[in-house]
Amino acid sequence: MRVLVTGASGRLGRVVLPRLRDGFAVRAVSRHPRGGSDVEWVVADLATGEGLTAAVAEVEAVLHLASSPTRRTHEVDVLGTRRLVEAAGQAGVGHLVFVSIVGVDRVPFGYYRHKLAAEQVVTAGPVPWSILRATQFPEFLEELLRAAGRLGPVIGDPAVLAQPVDPADVAARLAGMLAAGPSYVVEEYGGPQVLRFDEAVHAWRAARRSRRPLLRVRIPGRLGRALRAGGLTTTATPTGTRTWADHLADTYGGTGRR
């Protein structure tokens, strides 16, 4: 099966490409020319639509991972998804798999509103679809912790709940969805453990042998309530297999696996 992967150069895309090597012929999209032996790279831009018609030609499925969380999000995530879906519909693509985020329907982040709108573009569009909402990748959680520790102590709401899921687990799930064909279902997929923010910080500090204290700050309002109530977590099964401790052990060494 020939599959077009958008966002192929991103954190998830880089793990997905080798996962699809067996069983799929992969065409990968980037805004910039790239090379690679097993993958056919094409240049396309969701923000302008440039290159999309050629990108979707003669593919049977599209795995849509591309996203722009911090700039031109409406243009890329919502209008760009519409451009992609329309081009795929005209090309007769048989299945579009879209990756979204657990909590887009209940946590009031601006980015999540755009992801939810992009989901609606997919479900209303002409191409048979499947959607996977994943929880946070551990690398993203680490970026948040580094940002939260910029001023010295790690600042955060100890009771916020997270459920990191490894991109390799997500990639395996996505390969299964591509093989299975359109489900017309929005599936949720999380990591094997739900952690409080203070537990995640504690394990992170131990792995890095850091003594930074946690400065406890309660996030106010609707956002704080949603985050503490588990808005970013899911009870869906199956879950991924790799824990936050596995990620920390792989990244920083040590024997902290559980």
Ligand X SMILES: NC(=O)c1ccc[n+]([C@@H]2O[C@H](COP(=O)([O-])OP(=O)(O)OC[C@H]3O[C@@H](n4cnc5c(N)ncnc54)[C@H](OP(=O)(O)O)[C@@H]3O)[C@@H](O)[C@H]2O)c1
Q: Which residues, listed in sequence order, are joined to residue 36 by a DSSP beta bridge?
A: none
CB of 213 to ligand X, least distance (A): 26
Euclidean distance between the first and the last CA atom of the chain, given in angstroms as a whole number:
38
If the CB atoms of residues 34 and 212 are measured against ligand X, the closer one turns out to be: 34
The rounded distance, in Å, linking the Cα atoms of 65 and 62 is 9
Convert 66-107 into a string of H (helix), E (strand) and C (coil): CCCCCCCHHHHHHHHHHHHHHHHHHCCCCEEEEEEECCCCCC
CB of 93 to ligand X, least distance (A): 17
The rounded distance, in Å, linking the Cα atoms of 182 and 185 is 8
CB of 175 to ligand X, least distance (A): 15
If the CB atoms of residues 43 and 215 are measured against ligand X, the closer one turns out to be: 43
The identity of residue 122, as a single letter, is V
Which positions lie near ligand X, rule CB under 6 A?
Answer: 6-7, 9-13, 29-32, 45-47, 65-68, 76, 80, 99, 101, 115, 134, 136-137, 140
If the CB atoms of residues 24 and 189 are measured against ligand X, the closer one turns out to be: 189
If the CB atoms of residues 4 and 154 are measured against ligand X, the closer one turns out to be: 4
If the CB atoms of residues 41 and 216 are measured against ligand X, the closer one turns out to be: 41
The identity of residue 92, as a single letter, is G
Pairing of strands 40-43, 61-64: unpaired
CB of 7 to ligand X, least distance (A): 4
CB of 86 to ligand X, least distance (A): 15
If the CB atoms of residues 32 and 209 are measured against ligand X, the closer one turns out to be: 32
Of all residues in the shown chain, the one whose CB is closest to ligand X is: 10
Could you write out the DSSP letters of every residue in 174-234? HHHHHHH-----EEEE--S--EEHHHHHHHHHHHTT--PPEEE-PPPHHHHHHHHTTTT--
CB of 209 to ligand X, least distance (A): 25
